[in-house]
Structure 1
Amino acid sequence: MHVVPLPALADNYIWLLHDDSNQAIVVDPGEAAPVEAALASRGLNLRAVLLTHHHADHIGGADRLRQRYGVPVYAPDDDRIGVATHRMKDGETLHLQQPSARFEIIAVPGHTLSHIVYVGEGVLLCGDTLFSLGCGRLFEGTPAQMLSSLQRLAALPGETLVCCGHEYTAANGRFAQTIEPENAALKQRLDDVAKLRADHRPSVPATLSSELACNPFLRVNSESVMDWCRQHGAANDPVARFAALRSAKDVFRA
């Protein structure tokens, strides 16, 4: 399966997945035009749309794509996503015939309460739950919910490609360095990101193993992150450590 990030809106990525027989799916199309252009230029046939959560910058183009190409739209069980033709729930498996693909559904409340991710074909299509070097804001869920969601994702195979919804890596990395300034893997990742962005290339996907080495929100039990948390009065409990990190990131400017 070929995995292609399509830039959209201000800093979104729409994920285009296609096989060698030109059968394609798209994930979180915040607008339709980039998808339509990519399908035409690559000679692809759109077969399905997958949605992770209800925010407009992730579903804004779904209805147009559904109508133009006559494809099913898979989405969380959330009435705020009126374009959905199929509702997906935690623990279910999505089997697609064209392209031939299988995705496990994991519920990941935190960013929103009904957020889901799709895991399969070597990729994690994670919307706004997990970002490279960061995680989503808690618009609806609690720190405990979000930490539990991230821990479920952290248990996936290390070679899994993290396909997130935004180009936030450099900014996330600047915050991460304030938490773990001596993290050599993080420094290398940021050097790599700087080169990619200088060439106008996406910083994602990244491997989950890289995120486990660099992303402070996946490292609440690492000694260096706990050291930072001790200095901020939140050392004893993983949820408290996560909440402290998320609160600090919410007001971070650099």
Structure 2
Amino acid sequence: MPAEKPIAVLVLESDIGEAPEYWQLLVDQLTEEGIFCLVHIRSGYMWRPTGDANVVELEVAARLAIETERLIYLAHSLGAPMAMLNGTFRQLGRVADAVILLDPVTPQMISELRSNEFELGRMRRALDISVLSVGLGMSRFADPIERAYLWYPNQVRQRCKAFRHNLRNALNARREFNFVVKHDLLIEPIRPPMSALLIHSEFAFPNSAGYADQQRRFAESLEIEGSAIVRLEAARLKATLTSMSALSNVVSSIVEFTNPSHGRQDLHE
């Protein structure tokens, strides 16, 4: 545990099929800035990547979060729909004050939802439960799946369809989303966070402007007063945390966002 009261407790939602070590560099740099970081693992534990206690029980971590001024969720890509499902915090009377999403709208997510390998209705219901109605106040963002990525060129859409042939990823995604559907009766709507930050990388596909526009519309659809969007130039998708230059920009954006004096920011690119 930190010796002094942390600026914020940042809960990083582990991606589907992703090892917690993926976040190590980000966590190390944020810790140096006085932000206490925990990685939420789907087994019900918080993984503490630095310090003596490497694994912290979820309830202990939640109680620590209650004592700090700001509780922030951070999720990347497929972790985004799961980021607001942490029932332990809500049982203790504390929900996220803010949410940070890295590349929340990705071709991988869209291709999973459209894949014939999945039951589309159940997947849509899972998204509605975990994101649209639970945490981010997006109920007015009508029919996001059909509208997303219509600007994609044909060759990109064909690449997305190939995802269904990756059995391991497909099974992991199906398990996670079915978990949401199975437990939907336990989930009640909560107030949206006070602010949101979306960080997306410069896309390598031909229509990078279309990708940026999609992220912008996604951010605006959150209808959270303190929302902001930041683009990482010259960073490819999935390099948000592995590229040192992009990582530095991510850390800077998060540190600025978690500052207690943070107020409303206009959406910008």
Q: State the TM-score, normalized to the length of structure 2.
A: 0.30
Kindly indicate whether structure 1 or structure 2 has the higher relative contact order, using CA contacts under 8 Å at least 6 residues apart. Answer: 2
Structure number having the greater strand percentage: 1
Q: Is the helix fraction higher in 1 or 2?
A: 2
